[in-house]
Amino acid sequence: MTSELEKFQEIIGYKFKDINYLIQALSHSSYANEKKKSRTSNERLEFLGDSVLSIVVSKYLFENFTHIAEGELTKLRASLVCEKSLYVFAQKIRLGEFIMLGKGEEITGGRERPSILADAFEAVIAAVFLDGGFEPVTKYILGFMPDDVQYQKKAVFSDFKTILQEIVQKNPEEKVEYVLAAEEGPDHNKSFIVEVCLNSNVIGKGKGKSKKEAEQMAAKEALELMGYEAQ
């Protein structure tokens, strides 16, 4: 067990002063129940880790995406701390190899179950926080952010039409309209060109294999011209 704990600490790049924090973080409730009084599960650590993760991610987004409004920041944060994202992060550190499971969970594939891995990932966050404080846990969490945040940002903000509409709606007298400007190519490989107009003035143009895609690209260009980072 000691060698496994050493290996895991090498993977995550953090050396625990009190190894008991890590042992608890890796102890699933099924394992703790089998051990009874000799082991505490990671459920309480999961609770704390969820809050620490939210604070660190919120601060990161607040400082690095200064042009994004509160509503969009909330959506982006939610995409980064959801079970799906935490499962991906857990796989990066091979967390499933180190979780201590009860016999039943082991047999039924608990090491690959997204909910178990996501919860354990939060528990490890809490363990690092309790053992080392805010600075090391921030460094640990942000190690997962740079690549993933760009991917999630594209997913969250891919509906450029909705974003443009929300911006325009702040001025009730303004009206957005999408106009099909041209069609190109044969029927089996047609492209569409759409212009987006604000009060009859063209503010963006887009091209796509469907009218919907062309409208999105037109809205994207309009947002960029308005100073929004639409990627």
Residues identified as active-site:
50, 122
Please give the structure tokens belonging to residue 166. Answer: 């929300």
**What whole-number distance in Å separates Cα of residue 221 and Cα of residue 16?**
49
The answer to whether 117 and 110 have CB atoms below 8 angstroms apart is: no
Is the CA virtual torsion 145, 150, 154, 157 positive or negative?
A: positive
**What whole-number distance in Å separates Cα of residue 10 and Cα of residue 4?**
10
**What whole-number distance in Å separates Cα of residue 103 and Cα of residue 34?**
9
- 212 DSSP assignment: H
Q: Cβ contacts of residue 94 below 8 Å, gap of 6+?
A: 11
Q: Cβ contacts of residue 180 below 8 Å, gap of 6+?
A: 192, 193, 194, 211, 214
> Helix, strand, or coil here: 140?
helix
